[in-house]
Amino acid sequence: MSRYIATAAIRGAHKVVRQAEELYADALKTVGPDAKIQFKDKGGGGTAYWLPVIYGFTGQKVETIGDLKKSLEHAKGLLPPLPGEHVWLPYLGETLDAGMATLFAEEIIEGIRFAKGQQPETRNGFTFNGPINDVQMRGWGIQMVDGRMPGFAALLGAAKNNEVAVKIVRELQSKGQLVFLSSSSNGRSIVDQLLESGVQLGYDTFTVPFGTDTISTIYALGYASRATFSFGGVTPGDFRRVLLYNKFRCFAFALALGPMDDVKWATGAGAISYGFPAVCDTAVPNILPTGITQYEHVVSMPFDDIPGRDDMERAERLVQRCIEVRGIKIKIATIKIPVAYGPAFEGEVVRRADLQSEFGGKGGMCFEWLTTRPPEEVEDGKVTVVGPDIDKFEVGAKIPLGIVIEVSGRKMQKDFEPVLERQVHHFLNGAEGLQHQGQRDITWIRLSKNAYAKGFRLRHIGDILHGVYHNQFGAIVDKIQVTLYTEPKKVQELIEKARGIYKERNDRIAGLTDEAVDTYYSCSLCQSFAPTHICVINPERVGLCGAYSWLDCKASFEINPTGPNQPVKKGPCIDQTKGEWEGVNKFVYEHSQMKVDRFTVYSVMDSPMTTCGCCECVLALIPEANGFMVVSREDYSMTPSGMTFTTLMGTVGGGLQTPGMMGHGKYYITSKKFILTEGGIKRLVWLSKNLKEELGEELKAAAEAAGVPDLLDRIADGTSATTPDELVAFLQQKQHPALEMPPLL
Amino acid sequence: MALTGIEIYKYLPKTNCKKCNFPTCLAFAMKVAARVVDITACPDLSAQSKAALESAGRPPIRLVKFGGDTHKVEVGNETVMFRHEKTFYHPPAIMVRIKDTASKEDIAKLVDEVGGYQVERVGMKLTMDGFAVENASKDQARFLEAVETVLAKSGLAVALMSDNPATMDAAVAKAAARKPVVYAATKENWSGMADIAKKHSCPLVVRDSSGLENLVALSEKVAQAGIEDIILDPGVDSFKSSIDSLTEIRRLALKKNFRPLGFPVMTFPGVQAKTTEEEAALAAEQISKYSSVVVLEHFSPALAYPLLTLRLNIYTDPQKPIQMAAGIYEVGAPKPDSPLCITTNFSLTYFSVAGEIEASGVPSWLLICDTEGLSVLTAWAAGKFDAERIAKAVKQFNVADKISHKSIVLPGKVAVLRGELEEELSGWKVLVGPMEAMDVGGYFKKTWKP
Amino acid sequence: MAPLEAPVEKWTGKIRELKLGSGGRKTITVGGGTTLPFVKFEGAQPHRPAIAIEVQDKEPTDWSEFLVSAWGDALKNPGAWAKKAAEFGADLLYIRLASAHPEASNTGAAQAKKSASEVLSAVDLPVIFVGPDVAEKDNEVLVAVSDVAKGQRVGLGNCVEKNYKTIAATCMADGHVAIAKTPIEINLAKQLNILLSDVGLSPDSILMDPTTGALGYGLEYTYSVMERLRLAALMGDGMTSMPMICTAGEESWRQKESKATLDVPQAWGDNQERSLIWENVTAISLLAAGADILVLRHPKTVVTVKAALDKSF
């Protein structure tokens, strides 16, 4: 907490409360205690919530001047003593109390003004709006709940000049933010600035002028309070929920333009209680996150120090920063590119005859690399082309290309980079006339003559990525900038760097062990067919469909917190070898309709994982061979278990726990945790031929790690054995290690 | 506690002799564990193993068979309370009551109607299962005449209904080759009825509507008399207690392994019904919930068709969805210039797409590709709905001969196949349709151009 | 012999009670069960399932002649139709704002308000309003209807993943119940309930529509999803314990078994009898699966299903 701000806020609070007291005393005399108080906007639209801030906090329905006595006492009760010059240490609680006292006093003042017929304010022939009526509040409230409108921006004071004022308002409007206007700086108000520039103000343009003094800012908080009664089901008087609702659901913030004064600080302190942070365009102390607002409380961005070519760009950045500070997510409604975009174009093939330019592919060089940067290094929506664009090359040319995507986000994690990067393929294919294949440094892109003729250039690749990442990964990324390199030397240099990163990622995944994490992820996608089946996916065991790794699930959870992938806390370990944890058992029990009360991750004989219907492989005990066979989905032939893949599937599938058998993903075979309890890969006596070929290298490595380098040759397949007798004969001839291992039954 | 396949395997001879019709002892053990095969199918089981497996190795609800060579009926042997837990295996027999008080001509007519009834649905031919011939006249000769008429005119299964053991004996003797259901042993006549059932190896119904305790007592007596194939009639002929009682019976059988109730159940939904609609309603409830033999009081095609369809729906294996036959379907009355769409042969996918096309009012051709019953995205992911397969279907079903244009609408979710499909089907235009079936109507009106 | 011990399951959860109708309007409560549907030996089903009759705000053009003849001229006017539905014994009404469909008359908020007012003043039964099932249009008309029906606790639907926030917000603002519709999938149903609750709508103001497949057209999928939702709720999952509504009438009457009158195979039997039984069988089996509100179309089916319910309770 800044001592400077705390002191100013408390001073301001005293000032406003004193003013309210004086006005109240005066009103008792001039209009009398029975004078009615009713908030109305300039069109006469009212509210059913009395003085909404006071109503929300205390449940008191203020109807007359006389009723204000109680509210005033409440305000005074909240007021902390004025801090002394030297000994006082700033304390957040006192500052917030002072803020609340200020809001009470401000609402009291406006109430008295209404009783006296002094509101809404009129100045130079312009009538301000006054408090927003209930009908409008309901209309906007629905849009705020359904996300069309993220929240509101309360602009206080006056901007550097009229152009900047207009630019700020336009920027906010473009982000769907409702704009409230109040207060003045040096006698100027942003309302004056906008009116002078011919900007239409009012409900229709989502810009509501409250008044020229800071006190009228209270209408913004009255609006926020009323929204909680309508949409939050909050009972007036339950002030804690009024505040929490606004903190988590109303994406509002204050933007103070021009010099601050004590009353502004005091009002700001009140707003912070609602979870609304303040950004100031002057030099003031910053207040970093402490939990009252979601992120920073007060952020200083002296206008002239904001980097930018001109004031317009500075205004843009100022608004951008506000959006970040409040944690508002941006949706891009339409992606502005000269060709059509949509799923209809995903499967399009660009043939040689239609080819305008080609990137990567045989003999070419093309890569894509997504990386995380600190927020200040990413300018959202910025697309840069380094090197010549497509039009500088002849038709059909093979152009080197590097696509570097820099993202920042409060929830972004290094581990999500590959998950996000893999989406480039899917995202770019949606553009008409653009064909994308491969990934990383084997990317291959073709652009059609038609798309080129329509005006498609390299920067549009960036525009697509910027828009689609926002829309689909908005939960993780806040800002995206894309740089496209065509300069051969630069591409060469960066591709080397990217390759280093790819390798690092591979190593990281290889080194990612079950022990290294405390959370696994579930997958319930298959419960429509197998209601009692629940996948638990850990770093060393992919989902049994082979499609979901632990990292995929982790990212999926961040993007869709109520979706099919949920975190599973391991909890205390029950058995390390079998892979059994208390947390996993509990989760499985609760998510299998209480049909499965425990399961082990590394054992097939004791409570193995259940199987749905989409496993890549089935593993089954062959009692005669003292080992296990693995048959793949692509293998239709008979296996030594006496069952084909289909029959085995019918036995293990449907969410059943079948000791001795289970479904799993292909790559589980090469995992260090493969049936650890039963002795690992050395127990593998039969394997579908196609798997032997497909997993060749990885299997060899796993066999070596298990100390039997030639294991693969000793494992039978469909060509060497389809009955238990043939299998045993084969294994004996090859001296398969399983024959010497402890009996399984 | 049920045993796992591996635990059962330990008791088997481990000879892989194949006498149980499974290639290995393990494969057999797995089926026994799933409670769909009786442990006694293994002829070489030691006495010791037999005793150990007594309860775990026998299905909790007995499989009861009746009917002759021309129409065999198998009911019971269910292993779950809810179809989603695994599947319901043996659809209830749907039979029609024939009273011997009716004239010979009326009986003959009804038997012809029911016996000859057949309706086609998703490529399957659905039929009724038989007749419950009742000795309503209490006259033995008349009963025997009615039974003869039924046997002579139809090959379907029969249940014989009489309280009189002597009459029953004579009737069962006539129908013995049809393995009739003997209806019913009551607390008065059970001993005589049990003798008849035993003599002819026929299933015996035990009936007691005065409470489950009494039904259990009767079932136990009959079992002690050596009858293995029992069918229970708890006398639930009203909505009042049907689900309640039948749930209790099935739960006791499955969850408590309670042998006296471990048999299929027979119900008569039309006894109290005032209208066909009311009979249909209770029949529908009993087909859904746990009846294995449903005897109707009336017959009409308009009643039979919905009930047979319901039975088909409820007894579909939820893990093996119904598949449509691949081919070209007409929705509405399409002309050569009507749109051509393609989708997968998962029945629900087909129904959604066909239903929406129907609702759109734009008659169309719907090509169904064999994707082994998978829906669009699943099939695509499993490689069963790819350009090659689609192209094959287009050629196999001579689609080009039916339409005047050469354009095909692909489901929006597999837009990615477009390029490949254009390669496979040269000269064709591949259009990308909407992502969801419900948007087909709008797509036809706004976007579709051949 | 010793009395049989009833095989009672110890359920820990219960179906939520949901009230429709308020502010002078009749009220109806559904849900509240602590057992599987109609299983009496282990728990209570305090409120019997309710029968809603479907009413549309425009005369249907594609309805079966048997429906048309049963309703007559009432089909031309939503108020008259609603009144007649009340006479035919509906516990509540299910008003489809069909005219708002872009491919029908593409009417908007004004027409929706008018239709809603007509229905609301014609009858005092509880009412559910659903849009044309086109997400953006639904938002437009339902927000308007919500305002007209403020304080009368009507149902508003259908919320789908695309538009649930707007409907949830308007339900919260005006005290209504949201109908959450998901495509025959238990996890999606649960997810939508969670999403609605996350927006701030009380779980006691949500009615689930698991999407009805008619007899022969996916009934078994709906049936099993409903059984699973019900079981999950009884096992204590508060996010699957909302009562369920099934549009049995609409779904069965749009199938060719109910619509066709020409070239009908002989094995299908009498057209009218079959159509009625088709709706009836769909409805009854969904009751067995756990439906709390059935939306029907034909008055005769209403009679049959109500008779069944009378006997069941």
Q: Which domains does chain A have, with CATH numbers?
A: 3-122 (1.10.8.190), 141-326 (3.40.50.2030), 343-505 (3.30.1650.10), 515-740 (3.40.1470.10)
Shared-domain flag, residues B418 and B282: no
- Here the tokens at position A30 are 């001039």
Q: Is B46 among the domain residues?
A: yes
Is B218 contained in some domain?
yes
* Residue C61 falls inside a structural domain: yes
Residue B223 shares a structural domain with residue B104: yes
Q: Is B319 within a domain?
A: no
**Res A85: pLDDT:** 64
Res B1 pLDDT > 70: no
Domain count, chain B: 3
The CATH number covering residue C142 comes to 3.20.20.20
B201 Ramachandran zone, left/alpha/beta (phi>0; psi -120 to 50): left
- Do residue B73 and residue B48 come from a single domain? no
The 3-state DSSP class for residue A81 equals: coil
Is C222 a residue whose pLDDT tops 80? yes
Q: Which chains touch A (3 or more CB pairs under 8 A)?
A: B, C
| Helix, strand or coil, per DSSP, at residue C233 | helix
Residue pair A303/A345 in contact (Cβ under 8 Å)? The answer is no
CB-nearest partner of B84 from A344, A348, A531: A531
C-alpha dihedral, A713 to A717 to A722 to A726, nearest 10° = 0
Q: Could you tell me the maximum CA-CA distance found in chain C, to the nearest angstrom?
A: 71
Q: Are C159 and C178 in contact (CB under 8 A)?
A: yes
Q: Could C187 and A527 be called an inter-chain contact, meaning their C-beta atoms sit closer than 8 Å?
A: yes
Position A728 scores a pLDDT of: 96
Q: Is A563 on the interface with C (CB under 8 A)?
A: yes
The whole-number pLDDT of residue A531 equals 77
B2 touches chain A (CB under 8 A): no
**pLDDT for the residue A410:** 84
Is the domain of B29 the same as that of B143? no
Q: How far is CA A51 from the centre of its chain?
A: 36
pLDDT tens for A394-415 read 999 999 999 999 999 888 988 8
Put simply, whether A235 touches C (Cβ < 8 Å) is no
The pLDDT tens digits of the residues spanning A325-343 come to: 888 877 777 788 999 887 7
In the DSSP assignment, the letter for residue A170 is: H
Beta bridge partners, A617, equal A632, A664
Q: What is the mean pLDDT of chain C?
A: 94
Closest CA to A51 of A97, A139, A119: A119
> Is C215 close to B252, i.e. CB distance below 8 A?
no
- Closest Cβ opposite residue B121 in set C103, C216, C223: C216
Spell out a b/e string for C166-198, using b for 16 or more CB atoms within 10 Å of the CB, else e.
Answer: bbbbbbbbbbbbbbbbbbbbbbbbbbbbbbbbe
Alpha helices by DSSP H, listed for A488-636, are: 488-511, 550-559, 582-591
> To the nearest whole number, what is the mean pLDDT of chain A?
91
Q: Do residue B84 and residue C227 have CB atoms under 8 angstroms apart?
A: yes
* Window from A369-378, A457-466, C17-26 with minimum mean pLDDT: A369-378
Q: Do residues A330 and A453 touch, judged by C-beta distance below 8 A?
A: no
Q: Give the structural domain span for C178.
A: 22-312
> CA A303, A308, A314 angle in degrees (round to 5)?
40
Task: Mark whether B299 and B404 lie in a shared domain.
Answer: no
Q: Answer whether residue A416 shows pLDDT above 60.
A: yes
Q: pLDDT for B239-249, tens place per residue?
A: 999 999 999 99
Alpha carbon distance A245, A240 (integer Å): 9
- pLDDT for A311 equals 96
First to last CA, chain B: 62
pLDDT score of C2: 55
Within a domain: B236: yes
Is the pLDDT at C145 greater than 60? The verdict is: yes
Phi then psi for residue A30, to 5 deg, are -80, -45
Condensed to tens digits (0 to 9), the pLDDT of residues C90-100 reads 999 999 999 99
Higher pLDDT, A735 or A330: A735
pLDDT digits (tens, 9 = 90+) for A523-563: 987 776 677 889 999 999 988 888 788 988 998 898 788 88
Q: Do C288 and B314 touch (CB under 8 A)?
A: no
- Calculate mean pLDDT across residues C186-214: 91
**pLDDT tens-place string over residues B367-410:** 999 988 888 887 886 678 989 999 999 999 999 999 999 999 99
Read off the pLDDT of residues A51-94 as tens digits, 9 standing for 90 and up: 999 999 999 999 999 999 999 999 999 999 887 766 556 678 89
Of C165, C185, C191, the CB nearest to A145: C165
Is the domain of B9 the same as that of B137? no
Say yes or no: B245 and B346 in one domain. Answer: no
**CA–CA distance, A664 with A615 (Å, rounded to integer):** 5
For residue C230, the cross-strand partners are none
pLDDT at residue A88, rounded to an integer:
59
Question: Nearest by CB to C186, which of A148, A231, A528?
Answer: A528
Domain of residue B396, residue span: 327-446
Could you tell me if the ipTM is greater than 0.90? yes
SS3 breakdown of chain A: % helix, strand, coil, rounded to 5? Answer: 45, 15, 40
Is A620's pLDDT higher than 50? Answer: yes
Cβ C223 vs Cβ B313: under 8 Å: yes
Per mean pLDDT, which of A323-337, A724-738, B403-417 is the most reliable?
A: A724-738
Q: What is the pLDDT of residue A176?
A: 84
C17 belongs to a structural domain: no
Reference B336, options B410, B407, B286; nearest CA is: B407
Three-class DSSP category at A484: strand
Q: What is the mean pLDDT of residues C308-313?
A: 94
Residues B113 and B232 in one domain: yes
Task: Identify from A348, A544, A610, A631 which residue to disrupt to test chain B contact, counting B C-beta atoms within 10 A and taking the largest count.
Answer: A348
Q: Are residues B159 and B214 in the same domain?
A: yes
- A242 vs A240: CA distance, rounded Å: 5
Structure tokens at B189: 């006549």
* pLDDT range class, residue B236, cuts 50, 70, 90: very high
DSSP B346: B
User: Which candidate from A349, A529, A623 shows the least CB-CB separation from B9?
Assistant: A623
Mean pLDDT over the full length of chain B: 92
Give the residue-averaged pLDDT of B285-300.
98
**pLDDT tens-place string over residues A644-673:** 988 898 888 878 889 999 999 999 999 999
Chain A contact for C182 (CB, 8 A cutoff): no
Nearest alpha carbon to residue A153 among A126, A172, A127, A167: A172
**In a domain? residue B58:** no
Segment B128-153 shows an average pLDDT of 97
* Cα separation, C126 vs A231, whole angstroms: 23
In this predicted structure, what is the pLDDT of residue A327?
85
Co-location of B211 and B269 in the same domain: yes
Please enumerate in sequence order all residues whose Cβ is within 8 A of that of A119, keeping only pairs 6 or more positions apart, or say none.
A110, A113, A130, A211
Kindly tell me if the per-residue pLDDT of A470 is higher than 70. yes
Q: How many whole angstroms separate alpha carbon A511 and alpha carbon A509?
A: 5
Both tokens assigned to C243: 């009562």
Residue B322 inside a domain? The answer is no
Tally of domains in chain C: 1
The predicted pLDDT at position C104 comes to 86
**What percentage of chain C exceeds 70 in pLDDT?**
99
Contact A594 C191 (CB under 8 A): no
Structure tokens given for A269: 């302190």
DSSP A608: P
Asked, for residue C92, whether it belongs to a domain, the answer is yes
In a domain, C6, yes or no: no
Query: Once rounded to an integer, what is the mean pLDDT over residues C145-159?
Result: 95
Q: What residues contact B443, with CB distance under 8 A and at least 6 apart? A: B409, B433, B434
Contact predicate C250/C256, CB 8 Å: no
For residue A154, what is the enclosing H or E element? strand A152-157
Helices (H) and strands (E) in chain C, counts: 11, 10
Best mutation target, A643, A652, A722, A728, to test chain B (most B CBs within 10 A):
A643
Give the Cα separation of A488 and B265 in Å (integer). 80
Give yes or no: residues B145 and B288 share one domain: yes
Considering the domain boundaries, does residue C4 fall inside one?
no
| Last residue in a domain, options B314, B349, B370 | B314
Give domain status of residue B139, yes or no.
Answer: yes
Residue A368: both structure tokens together: 């894509």
Cβ–Cβ gap A532/B26 under 8 Å: no
Q: pLDDT at position B356, please?
A: 86
Q: What integer is the mean pLDDT of A337-358?
A: 86
Q: What percent of chain A has pLDDT over 70?
A: 99
Same domain, B74 and B23: no
Q: Which of residues 250-269 of C touch B (CB under 8 A)?
A: 254-257, 265-269
User: With an 8 Å Cβ cutoff, is B228 touching chain A?
Assistant: no
pLDDT at residue A372, rounded to an integer: 95
Please judge whether A642 and B319 are an interchain contact, meaning their C-beta atoms are less than 8 angstroms apart: no
Contact A617, A689 (CB under 8 A): no
CA dihedral in degrees (A564, A569, A573, A576; nearest 10)? 50
Q: Which residues contact B366 (CB under 8 A, 6 or more apart)?
A: B328, B329, B330, B331, B340, B341, B342, B343, B350, B353, B354, B357
CATH of the domain at B43: 1.10.15.40
- Asked, for residue B381, whether it belongs to a domain, the answer is yes
| CATH code for the domain of B104 | 3.20.20.20
Can you tell me the mean pLDDT for C73-85? Answer: 97
User: CB A186: neighbour CB atoms within 10 A?
Assistant: 9
What is the CB-side half-sphere exposure of residue A517 using CA atoms within 13 A? 20
